[in-house]
Amino acid sequence: MKEETTTLHSSLRTIEWKDNKLVMIDQTKLPNELVFVEFTDYNDVANAIRTLVVRGAPAIGVSGAFGLALAALQSKSMTKEELIEDLEKARKILFETRPTAVNLKWGLEKIMKVANEGDNVNEIKELVVQTAKKMAEDDVKINMAMGKHGSELFNDNDTIMTHCNAGALATVAYGTALGVIRATKESGKKIKVIATETRPVQQGSRLTAFELKHDGIDVTLIPDTAVGYTMAQGLVNKVIVGADRILRTGHVYNKIGTYQVATMAKQHGIPFYVAAPLSTFDLQSNPEDVIIEQRNGSEVTGIGDKKTAPDGINVINPAFDMTPPELISGIITEKGIAKAPFGESIKKLFEAN
Ligand code: MRU
């Protein structure tokens, strides 16, 4: 793993495949430093997903796919069977990094499927690399399509609240929820954004505020505790967030605190939208099947390296929560917008796919 610092001139690209290496922005260093990290070993990619060097559901889906591309290139196997065995071992390691975002499983399964279709070692290596590259390009196109659909829901002079980071930094580029915000601005409407800080890891202040400011989008930061205040003051017209997993019933799993924001939006009659690609839908699971990742308590007992709680304190630190469909005004996808009753309209989006 080699590190280099680069100055960024244009819109952010989080993940790139260059000369058979995976290059990603190290998001743990933002907003203070923009550092690109190079990967040649899939074990390092797994570690990067685990430690939030790369995070956000679509971004970890594509990183998982590139992780398998590296595993294929790393493999010394001489036969198809040995290569599939190596890939299967890498798939397991990559899959076990984070349990909630379904995009990771989706990305890994897609690569394993094409690998199994290849006839020999060289063909499989080529197929795996080309498929991962295509997944990265498709991610950007999908986000732009989602942005186009979603922008119709937003009006001139809207102030839009968002939680966590569902932006370029959570995808390959452009973003899901922030992609809709970008597309709304690109359509000529004047909009403002309110970003929540998103404790404990601060994806809102470190990443959303950084990337919107970077792209010249009007953004104001609030502490998570000011969500109710800003809504009660009439400072918010709409809310949009991303998702890590959406069930066929319209139950949405997203960054911890999303449920609170959605509940508060309902209380104040503010439309609450979710933007996510079809790869974020899990049509098989029921709410009781979904594992909510529980992260280290140190994320709560301190901010960065500074300790902000007494030693030995008990901590609950879930990374995600579930927002029920009755709090959601619409789910924006690349194929259109699902509305209540979600069961039917999600089914239609997949049938049209
Ligand atoms: O823990 P994180 O930073 O990976 O959580 C990210 C989120 O919850 C995002 O809102 C979600 O992945 C959607 S990203 C387009």
Do both 138 and 150 map to the same domain? no
Question: Given ligand 1 and candidates 254, 260, 282, 295, which is best to mutate, with the most ligand atoms within 8 Å of its CB?
Answer: 254
The predicted pLDDT at position 305 comes to 86
The yes-or-no verdict on residue 315 having pLDDT over 50 is: yes
Do both 216 and 338 map to the same domain? yes
Q: Ligand 1 atom 6: the closest Cα is on which residue?
A: 56
Distance 91 CA to ligand 1 centre (A): 21
Do both 23 and 10 map to the same domain? yes
Percent share of the chain, pLDDT over 90 = 95
Q: Identify each DSSP E strand in the chain by its residue range.
A: 2-5, 15-18, 21-25, 35-39, 158-162, 191-196, 219-222, 238-241, 245-247, 252-255, 272-275, 281-282, 302-303, 306-307, 320-323, 330-333, 336-338
Do both 53 and 164 map to the same domain? no
pLDDT band at residue 10, thresholds of 50, 70 and 90? very low
Do both 81 and 160 map to the same domain? no
CATH number of the structural domain spanning residue 10: 1.20.120.420
The yes-or-no verdict on residue 9 having pLDDT over 60 is: no
Structurally, the chain folds into a number of domains equal to 2
- C-alpha 283/C-alpha 58 separation (Å) is 17
pLDDT tens digit sequence for 176-185: 999 999 999 9
Distance 123 CA to ligand 1 centre (A): 34
Q: Which of 122, 167, 163 is nearest to 13 (CA)?
A: 167
Q: Ligand 1 atom 15: the closest Cα is on which residue?
A: 166
Question: Given ligand 1 and candidates 102, 164, 202, which is best to mutate, with the most ligand atoms within 8 Å of its CB?
Answer: 164
- C-alpha 135/C-alpha 138 separation (Å) is 5
DSSP characters over 192-237: EEEEE--TTTTHIIIIIHHHHHHTT--EEEE-GGGHHHHHHTT--S
Q: Which of 134, 105, 20, 16 is nearest to 71 (CA)?
A: 20
Tokens linked to 275: 């933007």
Do both 109 and 50 map to the same domain? yes
Distance 323 CA to ligand 1 centre (A): 14
Range of the domain at 182: 144-352
The predicted pLDDT at position 162 comes to 99
Instruction: Name all residues whose Cβ lies below 6 A of ligand 1.
Output: 55-58, 101, 164, 166, 170-171, 176, 203, 241-244, 254-255, 319
Residues that are catalytic? 244
The yes-or-no verdict on residue 1 having pLDDT over 80 is: no
Distance 262 CA to ligand 1 centre (A): 16
Do both 19 and 72 map to the same domain? yes
Task: Determine which helix (DSSP H) or strand (DSSP E) holds 115, and give its type and residue range.
Answer: helix 102-117
User: Given 143, 176, 202, which residue is the final one in a domain?
Assistant: 143
Average pLDDT rounded to a whole number, residues 313-328: 98
Do both 79 and 215 map to the same domain? no
Do both 9 and 123 map to the same domain? yes
Which residues, other chains included, contact 218 with Cβ-Cβ below 8 Å and sequence gap of 6+? 191, 192, 193, 212
Do both 131 and 183 map to the same domain? no
Average pLDDT rounded to a whole number, residues 168-192: 97
pLDDT band at residue 76, thresholds of 50, 70 and 90? very high
The yes-or-no verdict on residue 195 having pLDDT over 60 is: yes
pLDDT tens digit sequence for 225-264: 999 999 999 999 999 999 999 999 999 999 999 999 999 9
The yes-or-no verdict on residue 55 having pLDDT over 90 is: yes
Q: For the ranges 6-20, 37-51, 284-298, which has the lowest average pLDDT?
A: 6-20
Do both 269 and 288 map to the same domain? yes
The yes-or-no verdict on residue 219 having pLDDT over 90 is: yes
List, edge to edge, every strand of the sheet that includes 252-255.
Answer: 281-282, 245-247, 252-255, 320-323
State the average pLDDT for the chain. Answer: 96
Distance 120 CA to ligand 1 centre (A): 37
The predicted pLDDT at position 323 comes to 98
The predicted pLDDT at position 2 comes to 53
CATH number of the structural domain spanning residue 233: 3.40.50.10470
pLDDT band at residue 352, thresholds of 50, 70 and 90? confident
Ligand 1: nearest atom to the Cα of 57: 12
Q: Are 56 and 78 in contact (CB under 8 A)?
A: no
pLDDT band at residue 12, thresholds of 50, 70 and 90? confident
User: Given 119, 143, 167, which residue is the final one in a domain?
Assistant: 143
Kindly list the distances between the CA atom of residue 213 and the CA atoms of 205, 217, 227, 244, in Å, as whole numbers in the listed order: 11, 6, 20, 24
Residue 251 three-state SS: coil
Q: Which of 149, 98, 102 is nearest to 274 (CA)?
A: 149
Q: Ligand 1 atom 8: the closest Cα is on which residue?
A: 255
- C-alpha 58/C-alpha 63 separation (Å) is 9
Do both 132 and 275 map to the same domain? no
